[in-house]
Amino acid sequence: MRSTVLALVVGASLLAQVPEPPTEAFFKGDPTQVMLACAEKAVSLQPRKQVVLAQAGHAHLIAGDKAKAEAYFDRSASGTAETYRWLGQARLECGQAKEGIAALRQVGGRETYSKNAQRDAAVVLMEAGFPKEAEEIMDGAFQMGPKDWQNVMAFGRACLRQKRQDLASVWFARIMANQRKAEGLWNEIALAFADQGAER
């Protein structure tokens, strides 16, 4: 209860910093304060939307306010696959690997059809240096959408960005098993190798 009251007080003070409409001067302010004020504004617009709460928690965790972050994470804990992806990403980015991986592993069990959220979770894990866990989650996404070559490409690009051509090759070969006639896939693989997986 105390953390919720504190969150409301801190949130109200941050919201007071946001002009209506937001000005260029506001966005030129201290980046951390702009980040937090924007996160609080999002919560004020959708106070019950779990993914918004998780994203606000992410912002507060990045800013170093663990108590406020945890208050938001608690409020979003029964959320969607996307919510758990944000929870996991926030924890990984702040050095909480065990908790981050645990949250990302829950992405697949949140909804009947969560292949895109699972792909996003797998990319987050790959970029954080957890390839084994990333592949486990990506396998779940692939099982839901074995012909979704865009998802495989997103993961393959993440592998290439991490200098893991060996893993990218596994996934490119896997999708080619049933998508050999998709010219877009051939082109995307060519571009992925050309730019070493950089996001476009």
pLDDT digits (tens, 9 = 90+) for 4-42: 444 444 556 676 677 788 899 999 999 999 999 999 999
pLDDT at residue 114, rounded to an integer: 87
Q: Rounded distance, CA 147 to CA 175, Å?
A: 7
The yes-or-no verdict on residue 90 having pLDDT over 60 is yes
- Among 60, 78, 96, identify where a domain stops: 78
Do 103 and 45 belong together in one domain?
Answer: no
Do 36 and 96 belong together in one domain?
Answer: no
pLDDT per position as a tens digit, 92-142: 998 999 999 999 999 987 776 789 999 999 999 999 999 999 999 999 999
Do 74 and 84 belong together in one domain?
Answer: no
pLDDT at residue 108, rounded to an integer: 85
Do 10 and 60 belong together in one domain?
Answer: yes
- Among 22, 51, 78, identify where a domain stops: 78
Do 70 and 144 belong together in one domain?
Answer: no
- What's the number of CA atoms in the CB half-sphere (13 Å) around residue 51? 8
Do 200 and 106 belong together in one domain?
Answer: yes
Q: Rounded distance, CA 63 to CA 195, Å?
A: 32
**Residue 80 corresponds to which amino acid?**
T
Q: What are phi and psi of 190, to 5 degrees?
A: -60, -45
The CATH number of the domain where 165 resides is what? 1.25.40
The yes-or-no verdict on residue 182 having pLDDT over 90 is no
Specify the number of domains making up the chain. Answer: 2
Q: Rounded distance, CA 7 to CA 75, Å?
A: 11
Do 85 and 74 belong together in one domain?
Answer: no
Q: pTM score > 0.75 for this model? A: yes
- Among 78, 94, 123, identify where a domain stops: 78
Do 70 and 112 belong together in one domain?
Answer: no
Do 8 and 60 belong together in one domain?
Answer: yes
pLDDT at residue 120, rounded to an integer: 96
For residue 37, give the nearest of 48, 74, 23, 50 by alpha carbon. 23
Do 139 and 163 belong together in one domain?
Answer: yes
pLDDT at residue 21, rounded to an integer: 85
Do 65 and 108 belong together in one domain?
Answer: no
Number of separate helices (H) and strands (E) present in the chain: 12, 0
Do 121 and 169 belong together in one domain?
Answer: yes
Domain that holds residue 191: 80-200
